[in-house]
Structure 1
Amino acid sequence: MPRSATVNQEMRERSRERILAAALEVFAANGYEAASISDITTAAGVSRGLVSYYFATKEQLAAELLDRWLDGIAGILTIQGTPDERLAGIIDGALMAAATTLHIQRLAISLMMLPTTHDVFARVEQAKSDRLSLVEDAIRDVFAARGATDPAVEEMLLRATLEGVTVKLAIYHETFPLEAIRRRLYAGYDLPAPVASLPIVSPAVDRLRAK
């Protein structure tokens, strides 16, 4: 009996997600430049033709993963509450994303920073420009409501700080004291101390060393 259109669509979506998961795994293990479509095909356990059907180039795979990463950032638009509660939610959301989606964070960092792949990031960022502007404006609104003299500068500084934390966490994953850094960020913005720790493993403050 022929499969229904719904079943066929579900199978296509599963195949596509399997390929994207494999691409992220390969990019994380080998780096974007060294990774090949053949590596991704093997990791996904599918034919090269199927990979090419969904993604004609390695850049398209990276672009799709970055697209989802940027959509994740836009999740702050759903945070509700007072300005202080929203700022705390933005900090916590960024730190949780950094800790729980480290592979995609590393990919985004590498594509942003490497001269050979920066254009890939720039193209995806440009395609998402309108939504990213909404995110920027939401953060600026929070700082404006808190009485900041220059909300735009505060937004840029917060994002730079959180992105710096993400870079350090990516490099020093096993020794980075994320919870202590979180509480210092709260104090720096005169936010009430968090009642509970984030549900992630966070070592005590010592020294950052790669393991």
Structure 2
Amino acid sequence: MARSDEQNRIARERARENILQAAITVFSERGVAGASIAEITSRAGVAQGLVNYHFGGKEQLVSAVIDRWFETVLSFARVDGTPDEALAAVIDGALMATAFAVPLQRAVLAMQQQPATHRLFAESERRHADAVTATEDAVRDLFRARGAADPGLEEVMLRSLLEGVFVKFAVFGDTYPLEDARRWVRRSYGLPEPEEPLPLAMPPRRGEPRPRASGAVCPDTGTVG
């Protein structure tokens, strides 16, 4: 029986998403230069030609991964509640995104740093310029409501702090004390202690924190997981 137009549309969307997710994983493991379309499509379970069909080529696939990153990080800055409640939610949302989207974050972090892909990151940033500015302004409004003397600088420094936590978590994996870092950041802004830990499957910390790079390496494959 022939598939309906709706079934074909769903199949196309599923194939595109599978390619995108596979690209995120392979880019995070091998970097853009070391990733091949053949490996990406093999992991996605699709024909190589579908990359050109859905994205146009490897460079456009890289851009789609960066676009997905912007969509992810821009989604947590608008929350309801008092300024303190909203700021706490922004911090928690950023750290949750860090933990749940490690391959995506790791892949795009490398793209930000490499000259060959920094241009693509800048182009994606321009595509999301209005949303980026709106997100910045939303966080600055929180600091303004809390009486900050320089809300713009406060937003920049909070973003720098949270991005620093991500970099360390990407390097050190489960040996990095993410929950403790969350509580430390909250205390730094005079926010109340969270009532519950983040809903993450992470081992409890024992003793003093000692992050190690081996915590991010998959023992079965030797790759960064």
Contact preservation (8 Å) 1:186, 1:192: yes
| Residues 1:208 and 2:211 aligned together | yes
Q: Helix, strand or coil: the match of 1:174?
A: helix
Q: Does the 8 Å CA contact 1:174/1:203 hold for their aligned counterparts?
A: no
TM-score, normalised relative to structure 2: 0.90
Structure 2: gaps spanning 5 or more residues: 215-225
Deviation at 1:76, TM superposition (A): 2.5
Indicate the RMSD between aligned Cα atoms, in angstroms: 1.3
Count matched residues: 211
Partner of 1:161: 161
Matches within 5 A, 1:169-188: 169-188=169-188
Moved segments of 4+, more than 6 Å: none
Q: CA deviation at 1:174?
A: 2.4
Cα deviation code 1:93-123 (max 9, x no counterpart): 0001101110000011101112221111111
1:104 aligns with 2:107: no
TM-score (norm 1): 0.95
Aligned to 1:199: 199
- For residue 85 of structure 1, report the CA deviation from its aligned partner: 0.4
Cα deviation for residue 26 of structure 1 reads 1.3
- What residue is the counterpart of 2:86 in the other structure? 86
Separation in 2, partners of 1:56, 1:109: 23
Provide the residue aligned with 2:73 in structure 1: 73
Question: Any gaps of 5 or more consecutive residues in structure 1?
Answer: none
SS state at 2:51 partner: helix
Counterparts of 1:72 and 1:108, CA distance in 2 = 12
User: What's 1:136 paired with?
Assistant: 136
